[in-house]
Amino acid sequence: MLTDAAKEKMDAEGIDATVAYLKTSDDLVGALDAFDELIRKAYWQDKNLDAVLTLGNAAIAMGVDDIAFSSDSDELADEYVIERKVKTIAYNIASFCWVGWDEPGIEISDDAIEAGLSAAKLNMKLAKILQVDELPMSRAYWMLAASELTQFNFKAAKQGFEIASEMAGSAGSETEQLLSTGFAYLTEILDPEVVDVSTQATQLNVIKMKLRFTQSGASFVDQLETAEAVCRKLVVSS
């Protein structure tokens, strides 16, 4: 199996040899699966964001370069498989480069934050091309908005969170609708151009209260509060 071989190559010869090995594979889908697995391991187990970006950039370049532009139905089917896999990798990179998680052991540089925003934009582009359902589209908008927030693009972030909330509501996910609405209020609170945020602060507290009464809502409250603490520090230091 290509993924197992890639893991062995990584352990024995390191990341550059592994990337080169996967790039020469005739099995593009298998190579992207291997990249995906290695990226997750680099983040969750190794806490190595540099490796995440090296592997992720190689995987995305490999996938995008090979996407077929053909009217042949078989080639189009293969293209959609590749696009879905590249989309998954792009989403994970955007998520792994988002400082708002405050993930223990992960240090995120300014360059990594920018890379996360680029990955979030690619994820959104592919979500639209693939015409994904409302809930995954909501998550694509949320991820892009979250990435915009940490770049201090407050208006774009607020708009993205509002769209994410609307789509989550249409998809029937109350918790994700509330979460995105909460982030829209949080974005206004953090925006230095918004002078009076008393209404937004009150509404954010209402959102948190509502979330606590939904399934898995407590973890979303923690997510909001962690992101608020991290982003406040970013805004102050900017």
SS3 letters for 176-199? HHHHHHHHHHHHHHHCCCCCCCHH
pLDDT of residue 71: 41
Same domain, 101 and 155: no
21/123 same-domain check: yes
98 shares a domain with 5:
yes
Q: What is the pLDDT of residue 64?
A: 84
pLDDT at position 220 is 95
Measured in residues, the chain has a length of 238
**Number of folded domains in the chain?**
2
Q: According to the model, what pLDDT value does residue 66 have?
A: 65
If asked whether residues 125 and 141 sit together in one domain, one would say: no
17 lies in the same domain as 102: yes
Q: Phi first, then psi: give them for residue 193, nearest 5 degrees.
A: -80, -15
Give the per-residue pLDDT at 237: 86
Does residue 53 share a domain with residue 145? no
Please give the C-alpha separations between residue 47 and each of 66, 74, 98, 118, in angstroms, as whole numbers. 30, 39, 14, 21
Residue range of the domain that includes 227: 134-238
pLDDT for residue 67: 61
Tell me, what's the pLDDT at 79? 64
- Predicted pLDDT at 61: 94
Q: What is the pLDDT along the chain (238 residues), one digit of tens a residue?
A: 899 999 999 999 999 999 999 999 999 999 999 999 999 999 999 999 999 999 999 999 999 876 644 344 455 455 689 999 999 999 999 999 999 999 999 999 999 999 999 999 999 999 999 999 999 999 999 999 999 999 999 999 999 999 999 999 999 999 999 999 999 999 999 999 998 999 999 999 999 999 999 888 899 999 999 999 999 999 888 7
Residue 202: count other Cβ atoms within 10 Å of its Cβ: 11
d(CA 87, CA 64): 10
| Residue 127 shares a structural domain with residue 203 | no
**Do 122 and 200 reside in the same domain of the chain?**
no
The CA-atom distances, in angstroms, between 147 and each of 27, 42, 120, 220, 231 are 32, 21, 7, 17, 11
